[in-house]
C-alpha cells in the first residue's frame, strides 16, 4: 500500500466517523427531548385541533425552512396551515394572518429580530402564539402563550454553529404536533388520500370497479370446462388466470397458471382434467365497492402478494377481476 492509498483510506475512515458523529448528536438531542417532562403539550394539541382558521407557522432562515415543511405536513394531515417568512411579514405578508389566528413561531435563539418585530402586530390581531423555541429565557419564549422548549446541548457540526441538531429537534416536534392534532381531529387514511389526488397516492381512491377487467375481457369458465378450454380462455384473456363460476356467475374458485403447471408435474390426468379439479376453492377476493388502495393494502399484507383478484359483490357473484398490473396503470 503506497502513501497515497494510505492517506485516502484514512480520509475515508474519518469521513465515515464524521458522518456517524452527526447522526449520533441529533439522535441524542431527540433522546434528551423524550426524557424531559413536557407540560402543556395536551393543551397545545387541543388548541391546534379546534382551529377553524389556517394555522400560521412563522420562521426565518433555517427555522423558516422547517416551518414551511411543517405547514405542508399539517395541511397534508387535514389541518389547514400556511407558512409565513418572518422577514417578509413586516413588508405586507402579514395580511395573510386572519385576526384571532393561532400562530406557531419557530426559533432556536428566541431572539431573532425579524420575528420579534412582528410580535406586537400579531398580538394586536388577537392571535394566540405557540412557540417552538430553543432558549426558554429568550424574549420570544417569554412572549408566547404556549411554549415548547426545544433546547439542544450542542449542534451536530464540527464547529457547533450550523443549525443541525436544533432544526432536527424542531422538525420532530412539529411532526409530532401535526400527527397528534390529526389524530385528535379523527383524520383517516381515506381523508389523507383525498388530499393527495396526484400520483400513486391519488390512485388509491379509485374504485376497483372502474379498473377491473369485465365483460368480454373477463376470463371465466364453468367447473366442467376441460383443460383445453381452460387454457384457451386464460390465453385469450391474457390475465394468467381464470375464474370458475356457476351458471349464475357465483364464484366457485380460481385457477392460475401455476395451478395448471403443478397439476401436470404431478402426473395428473390431462384427458379428464377440468376447471373444477384444478381450481382453488377459497381464492382471495376484493369487494365490488373497494378502492384501489384497499387492493394495494391486501397486496402488502399477503404473504406472497397476489397476481389477480376476483371482484365480487356481497352475495359472492363475480363482477370482474383485477390484475396486479392494474395497480400502476390508469
| Helical (H) or strand (E) element with 104 | strand 102-107
Tell me the pLDDT of the chain averaged across its residues. 85
Cell numbers for 102, please give them: 393561532
Domains assigned to the chain? 18-187 (3.40.50.10490), 208-327 (3.10.580.10)
Report the relative pairing of strands 102-107 and 55-59 from DSSP bridges: parallel
> Three-class SS of residue 222?
coil
Q: How far apart are CA 303 and CA 311, in angstroms?
A: 20
State residue 91's pLDDT score.
76
Q: How far apart are CA 70 and CA 264, in angstroms?
A: 58
Task: Tell me how far CA of residue 179 lies from CA of 78, 125, 167, 174, 199, in angstroms.
Answer: 10, 27, 18, 9, 23
- Cβ contacts of 59 within 8 Å, gap of 6 or more: 65, 66, 67, 68, 83, 85, 86, 105, 106, 107, 115
Stated pTM of the model? 0.62
Mind listing the pLDDT tens digit for each residue in 69-106? 999 999 889 899 999 999 888 777 888 898 999 999 99
| Helical (H) or strand (E) element with 65 | helix 62-76
> Three-class SS of residue 298?
helix
Report the relative pairing of strands 241-245 and 220-221 from DSSP bridges: parallel
Q: How far apart are CA 12 and CA 22, in angstroms?
A: 16
Question: Which parts of the chain have pLDDT scores under 70?
Answer: 1-12, 193-204, 268-269, 299-306, 326-330
Q: How far apart are CA 285 and CA 36, in angstroms?
A: 49
Burial class (CB in 10 A: 0-12, 13-18, 19+), 199: exposed
Mind listing the pLDDT tens digit for each residue in 148-203? 999 998 999 999 899 999 999 999 999 999 999 999 999 887 777 665 554 555 56
Amino acid at each position: 500500500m503506497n502513501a497515497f492509498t494510505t492517506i485516502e483510506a484514512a480520509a475515508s475512515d474519518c469521513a465515515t466517523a464524521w458522518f456517524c458523529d452527526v447522526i449520533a448528536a441529533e439522535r441524542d438531542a431527540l433522546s434528551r427531548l423524550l426524557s424531559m417532562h413536557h407540560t402543556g403539550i395536551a393543551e397545545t394539541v387541543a388548541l391546534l385541533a379546534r382551529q377553524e382558521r389556517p394555522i400560521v407557522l412563522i420562521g426565518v432562515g433555517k427555522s423558516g425552512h422547517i416551518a414551511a415543511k411543517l405547514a405542508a405536513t399539517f395541511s397534508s394531515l387535514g389541518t389547514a396551515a400556511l407558512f409565513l417568512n418572518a422577514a417578509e411579514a413586516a413588508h405586507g405578508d402579514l395580511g395573510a394572518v386572519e385576526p384571532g389566528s393561532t400562530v406557531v413561531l419557530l426559533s432556536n435563539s428566541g431572539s431573532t429580530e425579524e420575528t420579534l418585530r412582528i410580535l406586537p402586530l400579531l398580538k394586536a390581531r388577537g392571535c394566540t402564539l405557540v412557540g417552538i423555541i430553543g432558549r426558554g429565557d429568550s424574549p420570544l419564549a417569554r412572549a408566547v402563550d404556549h411554549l415548547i422548549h426545544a433546547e439542544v446541548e450542542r449542534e451536530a457540526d464540527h464547529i457547533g454553529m450550523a443549525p443541525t441538531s436544533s432544526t432536527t429537534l424542531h422538525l420532530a416536534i412539529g411532526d409530532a404536533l401535526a400527527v397528534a392534532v390529526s389524530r385528535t381531529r379523527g383524520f383517516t387514511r381515506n381523508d389523507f388520500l383525498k388530499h393527495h389526488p396526484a400520483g400513486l397516492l391519488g390512485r388509491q381512491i379509485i374504485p376497483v370497479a372502474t379498473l377491473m377487467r369485465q365483460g368480454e375481457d373477463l376470463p371465466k369458465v364453468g367447473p366442467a370446462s376441460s383443460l383445453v378450454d381452460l387454457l384457451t380462455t386464460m390465453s385469450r384473456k391474457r390475465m394468467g388466470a381464470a375464474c370458475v363460476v356457476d351458471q349464475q356467475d357465483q364464484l366457485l374458485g380460481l385457477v392460475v397458471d401455476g395451478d395448471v403447471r403443478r397439476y401436470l408435474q404431478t402426473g395428473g390426468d390431462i384427458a379428464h382434467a377440468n376447471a373444477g379439479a384444478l381450481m382453488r376453492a377459497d381464492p382471495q377476493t376484493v369487494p365490488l365497492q373497494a378502492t384501489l388502495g384497499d387492493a394495494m393494502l391486501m397486496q402488502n399484507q399477503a404473504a406472497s402478494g397476489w397476481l389477480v383478484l376476483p371482484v365480487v359483490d356481497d352475495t359472492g357473484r363475480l363482477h370482474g377481476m383485477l390484475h396486479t398490473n392494474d395497480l400502476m396503470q390508469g
